[in-house]
Chain A
Amino acid sequence: MRALIHRCAESLLLLWLVVSLTFLLAHLAPGDAAELLVSPSASSDEVMRLRRTLGLDASLPEQYARWVGGVLTGDLGESFALREPVRDVLLRALPVSLGLGLTSLALTFAIGVTAGLYQAARRGRWPDRLLTAIGITVFAAPSFWLALALVALFTAGASWWDFPGWLRLPAFGVRSPASTATGWRAMVEVARHAILPVTVLAAIGAAGIARYARGAALDLMASEWVRTARAKGVGERGVMGRHVLANAAGPLVVLFALALPGVVAGSVFVEGIFAWPGMGRALLSAIAARDFPVVMGATLVYATLVILSNTLADVALHLVDPRRR
């Protein structure tokens, strides 16, 4: 219990460090938001006025105190481009990203762990080699390029090769334009729109997870208890299920912590290309508009997600591994 409290305190400290670091980064940059916001022909008077409205004329400690205080009270400032509180922009986008991310994460796990265990069981033979080759190729591809390739396949390709109706998947947005569907029909529609983005995210995630799971399973398979189980005549299935998988709970929890940031960051481009109105797209349009408050706010949210998932993974590791109690 004390270890857990200690761990949570550590996470809070880390969060404070991240908040300070983002502040530092923003102020290390040459020029400030006011200079970038005004038109090049603006007089220095106008720049000064804008600086005052943005609170940039205050001393650095004062600005820092305001930033930390704002973060603590959930006030992340106002978006330059959208003229509304950053918190509202991010709160609107977060559920979309979380839905997309959690679905992809679940699939990532199911596919990645299955593939990894299968590869470990067939180590060195052709299914293992094939899956390894596919895995490192997907891992070497940028997510935005994979997404674009899928868009090409399901727009130009679909008419070129004359795909059947059920395979004509929508490539953009969450709902069809001018759709009036409600209830379960609307859910089916959203699910169909989610297939392509989730495929890209899950493929990339699963490639990394399979690599890790294969290595972890091979380590476990080299252990004495597996050799003992084999010696007393337990079948291949029993060895994998009862002895390898049961001891893999720890590594699996670690995997979760490792996989989440990847899925979250990967979704930035995927949301951008498939036009999903989530955090990633909010971040990308904020970058295009040089909308710093939103960029800083989104960075904080992403960092919080990572710290939170790492803490949760540590707590879970504590719970699943009796040796740690």
Chain B
Amino acid sequence: MTRAAWGALAALLVLAALSLIVPPLSGVDPLAIDDVLGARLVAPMARDAAGVLHPLGTDRFGRDVLLRMLLATRISLAVGIGGSLLATAVGVLVGAVSGWWRGTVDRIAMAVADALLAIPRLILLLLCATLWRPGISTVVVVLALTGWMSVARLVRAEVQAVASRPYVEGARALGVGEWRALWRHVLPNALGPAIVALTLGVGNAMLLESGLAFLGLGVQPPTPSWGNMIAGGRELIVTAPWVALAPGLALVATVLLCTVLGDALRDRLSGDGVRPLGERT
């Protein structure tokens, strides 16, 4: 891995650590609304009526933007990692089964994947999120439901390629069962693309979550996520731009770090191909 990639990984870990450590240490409840009039819409680096410094200002309920952003980091990272992990897991399972057994199962799975891929991911995501009740677990499930297809295609191709190698034939000749051959001999050698897709998927999932949250279909307030914080700052964009701009910058920086990390992993694990243009918000 390159130095940039190690730097990105370190930065992501620091961000995660900060989001876990700082809010409890601050002794302030970032969700509580107390002195709305004295503390609302304080500009960045200014003090409120009680003399408390707000490095990134406050929102319209007088809540500290920096603290809420750090809390939102937990939620957004968790949703991004959870959504991408679940999508990749489903994709690996479907891809492995349909690449190994082929036949009817393969044809049905790939037809469903093709049909889902024909709907832009954001639209599919909006459709699903409208049909189910919003919340963190819904977002993760819906992210998985709309994101497994490309992983399944990658893994399927890889499994088919690995399955024809001599050592797999050798294992089967020794009487190793189908599942065991797939699990022990084929899958470990076919996971490269899935790992890359997982890393790049984290950034993508965070972007999509923010899109859902922006429309009120994602994580529900008062629990902060970057998306619903941006949504909360939408009407204030002219009078108090920091409320929407700060969480947006945090989101851009985090997705950027995930991209750098994913790119480096891809160069390392596959060494070929151009990143496909993913769906984005």
Contacts and interface: CB of A to CB of B under 8 A. Distances in A.
Nearest to B208: A142
A249 interface: no
A38 to B, nearest CB: 16
B215 A284 contact: yes
Interface secondary structure of A, over-half rule: helix
Interface centre among B116, B118, B210, B274 (most CB of A within 10 A): B118
Contacts of B207: 140, 142
A140 to B, nearest CB: 4
B244 A298 contact: no
B36 interface: no
A140 B80 CA distance: 14
A7 to B, nearest CB: 13
A261 B280 contact: no
Contact of A266 (B112, B238, B260, B280): B280
Interface centre among A20, A148, A266 (most CB of B within 10 A): A148
A191 interface: no
A265 interface: yes
B96 interface: no
Given A18-B119, A142-B281, A211 B124 contact: no
Interface stretch (B86-94, B162-170, B175-183, B248-256): B248-256
Contacts of A288: 215-216
Contacts of B121: 265
Contacts of A71: none
Interface secondary structure of B, over-half rule: helix
B22 to A, nearest CB: 24
Contact of A137 (B217, B256, B280): B256
A303 B260 CA distance: 31
B189 interface: no
Interface in B211-231: 211, 214-217, 227, 230
Interface stretch (A21-29, A39-47, A177-185): A21-29
Contacts of A156: 237-239, 241
Given A17-B111, A144-B211, A265-B121, A259 B132 contact: no
B124 A299 contact: yes
B114 interface: yes
A274 interface: no
Contacts of B114: 14, 17
A265 B120 contact: yes
Contacts of B244: 145, 148, 152
B206 to A, nearest CB: 9
Interface residues on A, range: 35 or more
Contacts of A15: 118
A175 B127 CA distance: 30
A15 B85 CA distance: 29
A283 B131 CA distance: 14
A229 to B, nearest CB: 23
A139 B262 CA distance: 14
A144 B124 contact: no
B203 interface: yes
Contacts of A9: none
Contacts of B126: 268, 283, 287, 295
A14 B118 contact: yes
Interface string A257-291: 01101101110110000000000000110011010
B259 interface: yes
A168 to B, nearest CB: 14
Given A137-B256, A287-B130, 9 more contacts: A15-B118, A141-B252, A151-B238, A265-B121, A269-B214, A283-B126, A295-B130, A296-B127, A299-B119
